[in-house]
Amino acid sequence: MLDTIPSDLPLITILVFVALIALSVLTLTVAIFKVMQFRRMGVGRHNQAEAILDDWLNGRPDEAQRKAGATRSVLARVMVAVMSGMRARPGDPAYGEELARQVALSELVQMGARMRLLEAVVQMAPMLGLLGTVIGMIDAFGNLALQSQTADPSLLASGIWTALTTTAAGLAIALVAYFAAAWLEGRIEDERQTIEIVISAAIHGRLGQPGQG
C-alpha cells in the first residue's frame, strides 16, 4: 500500500498519506472488532428474550430462569438479574430492578467500548487530508516559482491533483468511519431501549397483563 505513494512528494505530505492509511486500517479494525463483539455478546437477540419473558409473566419462573441461564444474549443476562432479585425479595421489586440495571450498565459499557476511536477518525481524517492538501499546494507553487523558464501547466496541474488527493482520501475515510459509528451506535441505542422495556415488563407486566411480584 505504501509503495503507491509517489516518492517525490514533500516529506510531510508522505507522512499525511501514511497517517491516513493508518486511520483507514484503524477504522476497519474497530468496525470488525465491534461486529464480532456484538455477535459474541448476543446483541440483538430479542426473540429469545421474548420467550423468557413470556414464561416469567405466565407463572413459569423456573423455566424462565433456566432458559435465561442457557441463552447467550444481553437481554437474557439482564433477565437473569431481574428475576433473581425478584425471587430473592418478592416484596421488593426495586431490588430486582436495581440488579438488572447494574447488569445492563455493565453490558452497555462493554458495547460502547472503543466507539470513541471511530469518532476520533471522523474528526481527524478530514483535517489530516486538508493539511496534506495545503502542504502539497505550497510545494506545487513553490516549485513553480523556482522555474527559470516558462511554467509548464501540466506540472502545476499534477502537483495540485496530488495535493487534492489527500483531502479526498481524508473525506472518504471519515465518511466510512461515520457510517460505521452511526450503525453501531444505532444498535447500542436499540439494545438500551429494549433493555428498559424488558426490565419494566418483567416487574410490572406488559400492558393488559399482570406483573410478577
pLDDT digits (tens, 9 = 90+) for 131-181: 988 888 887 777 776 665 665 666 667 677 778 899 999 999 999 999 999
Q: Is residue 185 part of a domain?
A: yes
Residue 210 lies in a domain: no
Residues 147 and 59: their CA atoms lie apart, in Å, by 88
Give the model's pLDDT for residue 156: 67
Alpha-carbon distance 211 to 196, whole Å? 15
Tell me the average pLDDT across 26-40: 97
What is the overall mean pLDDT for the chain? 87
Q: Please check whether residue 4 lies inside any domain of the structure.
A: no
In a domain, 47, yes or no: yes
Domain of residue 105 covers 10-204
In a domain, 123, yes or no: yes
Burial class (CB in 10 A: 0-12, 13-18, 19+), 63: middle
Residue 5 lies in a domain: no
Note the pLDDT of residue 135.
86
Residue 193 located in a structural domain: yes
pTM for this prediction: 0.84
Residue 211 inside a domain? The answer is: no
| More confident of the two residues 138 and 128 | 128
Domain count, the chain: 1
Residue 76 has pLDDT above 90, yes or no: yes
